[in-house]
Amino acid sequence: MESRAIFFDKDGTLVEDVPFNVDVTKIRFSRGAEFAIRKLKDHFQFHIVTNQKGVALGLFQEIDLTFVRNKMALMFSDLGGELQGFHYCPHGPDDGCACRKPGTLMLERAALEHGIELSHSWMIGDILDDIEAGKRAGCKTILIDNGNETEWVLNEYREPDHMAKDLFGAALIIMSQERGL
């Protein structure tokens, strides 16, 4: 049986939005993240999918993201959860890659590597590029409406299945939608 996953956008969704932050001492869970991890950890794999254009801009190195991943894994572990995947795109928006959200490559690779059934999984993000990536990959989607989405350019892939103010609300939505939680 294939697994199901929660795919979290990182900055502004799972952790507080500190632009281009790779300083692990400044990484803090966003509101509701701890609740969501505790409530969903027995039912889903947890994966982070994040665009990190700071690498392309020369603001930090890819090795810095290894330290971020390790810190995030510890934060999940402290809550009894496990971060199964930390997937990032190091390219800029004009680089033409397939991995940068709204592209689906990060989600598809995670599904292949971890035996995830995307149609039984969720993508949670704070901008419509996150939602589009999730929808195009076949996931159910939740937009965290925290003010980070400013363009609101909608199409069939950029219309979230659900909206929540924070990850507490997102976890409640998932628990209400999934049987047996």
Q: Residues annotated in the binding site, as ranges?
A: 9, 11, 89, 91, 97, 99, 126
Q: Which residues are annotated as a binding site for Zn(2+)?
A: 89, 91, 97, 99
- Binding site feature residues for Mg(2+): 9, 11, 126
Q: How many helices (H) and strands (E) does the chain have?
A: 6, 6
Cβ distance 114 to 45 under 8 Å?
A: yes
Coil, helix or strand at residue 3 = strand
- 11, 129, 130, 166: the catalytic one is 11
Whole-number Å distance between alpha carbons of 100 and 108: 12
Q: From the candidates 9, 129, 130, 166, which is the catalytic residue?
A: 9
Three-state DSSP state, 154: coil
Rg (CA), the chain: 15
Task: Give yes or no: 9 in active site.
Answer: yes
Q: Which of 91, 103, 11, 86 is nearest to 48 (CA)?
A: 86
Prior bond of 19 cis (ω within 30°): no
Q: Kindly provide the residue ranges of all beta strands, DSSP E only, lying in 121-169, ordered along the sequence.
A: 122-125, 140-144, 162-164
Per the annotation, the verdict on 130 as an active-site residue is: no
* DSSP three-state, residue 87: strand
Catalytic residues: 9, 11
